[in-house]
Amino acid sequence: MATPAVLFSASDLERLLEPRALLGELRNAMIAHDADPTRGLRAHSHIPAATPHSVSIVFPGLVPGIPAYTVKLNAKRPGATPYVRGLIALLDLETGALLSVMDSVVITRLRTALVGALSAEALSRPRIRSVAVVGAGVQGRAQLRALKLVRNFESVRVFDSVSANADAMAVELDGELGASLSVASSARAAVDGADVVIVATWARSPVIRDDMIAPGTHITAVGADEPGKAELDAALIRRARFVCDDIGLAASMGALAGAGLGADAAHATLGAVLAGRAAGRTDDEQVTVFGSVGLPCQDLPAAWMAWRRARTERSATFSFHAT
């Protein structure tokens, strides 16, 4: 008898996914991607509409050891709530049978944030005190929460071009992270002297420039994930040790492309650093940058975790394919 596909809503995924456990799975996925970067293929197109948006079709997400793969379809609309809508299909690796269809928003938000945390763990100084967040949206919040899994910090300064967004984030997270939160008057004021800077914006020109960043800072930049977006200027990237999830994608649609730089400006992939095949931070004065585009292999560990946990929860209700 064919296995029935299971539909997971956003609330289902919030319950089923455990961020700390997922960190290790994403570490393995990034290391595997570095060994075979052809797994990072992506495609996207712009959709004409009253509110312009884009649709991304992500090719199969594969990770050695997981007997399934994912395919994701996302629509992005700047200014909308939520700004990403989409679905992830989880399929049996051997047969191609559909195991589940999942809301993509929770998985995309969480896996992006956790990979950012992995970069901070690998590249930031071990002891940090202050964090800056530029872009007080969904991903700014998620990155900050994920950072707390790998680093303790005492203070957070938040800036957003819409001041009400920064105010709301400071109120929402007050007391949650064990750190004081304040709202900065500008991006420059937010990042001044920060040990870790999180940049998560829709910017199409650099908002963080070289002269704003102190020696020793680590920057996690996640906004430049398709052509035409940019957050960091070229001088900053050239000065820093630049690490990314995929060098080809960074140069064609990510932080390198946004700064007008090529693949030769990248030091290594995050997977290579995590595997010990490339050096991470080498001294306390070094500026490090992680530029994220997002990879299909990052979706799979989360989707697989959700499906496996749901299979345990719902074994009396659904007949699952044996793996």
* 3-class SS letters over the chain: CCCCCEEECHHHHHHHCCHHHHHHHHHHHHHHHHHCHHHHCEEEEEECCCCCEEEEEEEEECCCCCCEEEEEEEEECCCCCCCEEEEEEEEECCCCCEEEEEEHHHHHHHHHHHHHHHHHHHHCCCCCCEEEEECCCHHHHHHHHHHCCCCCCCEEEEECCCHHHHHHHHHHHCCCCCCEEEECCCHHHHHCCCCEEEECCCCEEEEECHHHCCCCCEEEECCCCCCCCEEECHHHHHHCEEEECCHHHHHHCCHHHHCCCCHHHCCEEHHHHHHCCCCCCCCCCCCEEEECCCCHHHHHHHHHHHHHHHHHHCCCCCCCCCC
The residues of the chain that CATH labels 3.30.1780.10 are: 6-107+297-313
Q: What is the pLDDT of residue 14?
A: 96
Work out the pLDDT band at 68, boundaries 50, 70, 90. very high
Confidence band, pLDDT 50/70/90 cuts, at residue 319: very low
CA 294 to chain centre: 6
Instruction: Domain 6-107+297-313: give its CATH architecture.
Output: 2-Layer Sandwich (3.30)
pLDDT classification of 47: cutoffs 50, 70, 90 = confident
pLDDT at 100 over 60: yes
pLDDT in tens, 183-233: 999 999 999 999 999 999 999 999 999 999 999 999 999 999 988 999 999
- Asked if the model's pLDDT at residue 280 lies above 60, the reply is yes
The amino acid sitting at 55 is: V
pLDDT at 84: 78
CATH code of the domain occupying 109-291: 3.40.50.720
Query: Looking at the predicted structure, is the pLDDT value of residue 282 above 90?
Result: yes
Query: Does residue 133 surpass a pLDDT of 80?
Result: yes
Where in the chain are all domains bearing CATH 3.40.50.720? 109-291
pTM of the model: 0.93
Which residue did the predictor score with more confidence, 321 or 99? 99
pLDDT band at residue 312 under the 50/70/90 scheme? confident
Residue 164 pLDDT > 70: yes
Check whether 82 has a pLDDT greater than 80: no
Q: Residue 285 pLDDT more than 90?
A: yes
Under a CB-based contact definition with an 8 Å cutoff, are residues 33 and 49 in contact?
Answer: no
What mean pLDDT is predicted for residues 155-165? 97
> Residue 291 has which token pair?
């530029």
Mean of all residue pLDDT scores within the chain:
91
User: To the nearest 10°, the Cα dihedral for 75, 76, 80, 84?
Assistant: 70
Task: Tell me the average pLDDT across 244-271.
Answer: 97
